[in-house]
Amino acid sequence: MRTLRRRLLLALGVPLLALLAFSMWLDYRTAALLADDINDHNLNAVAVTLAEHLEESGGGQEIELEVPEINPLTDDSPIPDQTAFALVATSGRLIAGDPAMAALADSAGTADGRHHDALFQGRMFRVASYRAHLSREEATLAVAQTTASRDAAIMPIFMRSLWPNILQLFTTLAIIYYGVQRSLRPLATLGARIAEHPVTDLQPLSMHDVPDEVAPLVESINQLIGDLRHKGESQQALLANASHQLRTPLTRLQTQLELLADTLGEDARQRFVPLMETSRQLSHFTHQMLVLARSARDADLLHEFQPTDLAALLEEAASHFLDAALAKDIDLGFEPATAVVPGSAWLLRELLANLLDNAIVYAPVAGHVTARCGTQVSGEVMLEVEDDGPVIAPEVRERIFERFVRGADTGTPGTGLGLAIVAEIAKRHGAEVRLIQNYSTGIGKRFQVVFPTPRRGHRHAEA
């Protein structure tokens, strides 16, 4: 995956490397020209010395000259340089010097010297041609030297200029890398904020410290979050209205059926009981479906999160489930302790209600159901409901929190939504639901909801 960091480093680093390559070529050319200048200066000195010692013998006789020694440019040359000269008349007659060098003389030579490289007998020579004025005729003085020492001198000169350039380049690259890292740090911070932003939190992202270049992106995200929040609020309003509109006629229907049953005889009443039970189940099922919809992950509920006292919820539930427990002669106990969590009070109330309803339904007649809450040593807040009903079979346990999944005892009245609602609400609060069972006896289970340790400024709603 091509990251923005990599793109910036490539966009800045590749041109710098290309610039280094061009600079290396330019430095090498400069070193070669400098070596040529030094070599040409030495050839000029030789030519001046030869010109000072020109001696004519007269009568067309050849001139005798002695070539002075030229100091090598470097001691690193593997082959000693060879120096030769030729004094050639304009007619082409060799006046003095090496006959073989006469071919290298440039007749266009000037008083200051004309320099060029020439390949001669398999070796490269640097040739300097000068215009010489003899008493009898014009001539060209050509002084040539092999280029071994010159070529050997190029590399040290080149390296002296190369290393500073390389050091400067890598220093620049290090500065660029640090600058890119530092410049992209706000983007990394913004990415971490977005990654940590719960999908259920439909509050806009803060624009604090957001770079101007990505501000339009964050504004677009906030606009999308706002649209989702508006749709969620509309959906929740619809569900709330639907809940009220459905609950009212169902309650009236249940009340009318109970009043009608009181006017019937014993035989008719017995036949009327299933209709009343069906009405009660329909009311309960409708209520659970609405709760499940309102607790779904796409509902914006974080604005409802406030410090909630679980002990107070247990005390409220005591009176609500007392009749159901007495109907089965169940010993319903409550053990409240200090336990405060950030959350939605009505959702946590529904979570507790479904756990108690599930425990009372599956507990045996004259059984025991205990609800308790408290804060563990680790700082985690715990809410649990325990009963002495049968354990849940292992093959069903993994799916018990799915919708419409029930235990093996399908003859017990229920919708299969209670534990699914518990799991959904727990997830919205960042809590974990644990099922602890006594497999040794096959009797007794405990549903425990463990809330994370509260952290300042942290919202527990999860995706």
* Mean pLDDT for the chain overall: 78
pLDDT surpasses 60 at 56: no
Q: Tell me how far apart the alpha carbons of residues 49 and 265 are, in angstroms, rounded to a whole number.
A: 149
Q: What confidence tier does 461 reach under pLDDT thresholds 50, 70, 90?
A: very low
Least confident of 42-56, 94-108, 156-170, 174-188: 42-56
Examine the pLDDT at 267 and tell me if it is beyond 90: no
Whether residue 55 has pLDDT greater than 50 = no
pLDDT in tens, 175-186: 888 888 888 888
Residue 69 confidence (pLDDT): 47
CB atoms within 10 A of CB 42: 22
Q: By the 8 A CB rule, do 305 and 461 touch?
A: yes
Residues near 452 by beta carbon (within 8 Å), at least 6 away in sequence: 380, 430, 431, 460
Range among 212-221, 411-420, 449-458 with highest mean pLDDT value: 212-221
Q: Of the given ranges (155-159, 314-318, 449-453), which has the lowest mean pLDDT?
A: 155-159
Q: pLDDT confidence of 456, banded at 50, 70, 90?
A: very low
Q: pLDDT: is 46 or 198 the higher one?
A: 46
CATH of domain 4-54+66-155: 3.30.450
Tell which wins on pLDDT, 237 or 165.
165
Q: Write down the pLDDT at residue 447.
A: 94
The tokens describing 183, both together, are: 């410049």
Across 297-315, average pLDDT: 79
User: According to the model, what pLDDT value does residue 199 have?
Assistant: 66
Domain 301-463 has CATH 3.30.470.30: no
Do residues 86 and 142 make contact, with C-beta atoms less than 8 angstroms apart?
yes
| Range with the largest mean pLDDT of 23-37, 57-71, 106-120 | 23-37
The proportion of the chain whose per-residue pLDDT surpasses 90, expressed as a percent, equals 14
Average pLDDT rounded to a whole number, residues 305-320 = 90
Helix (H, G, I), strand (E, B) or coil at 128: strand
CATH 1.10.287 is right for the domain spanning 206-300:
yes
Query: In the structure, what pLDDT confidence band is assigned to residue 457 with cuts at 50, 70 and 90?
Result: very low
Span 348-377, average pLDDT: 91
Average pLDDT of the segment spanning 421-450: 89
Q: Which of 10-24, 54-68, 361-375 has the lowest mean pLDDT?
A: 54-68
Higher pLDDT among residues 403 and 444, named by residue:
444
Domain boundaries, the chain: 4-54+66-155, 206-300, 301-463
CA 239 vs CA 8, 177, 233, 281, 404: distances in Å: 50, 54, 10, 20, 21
- Strand pairing category for 331-335 and 368-375: parallel
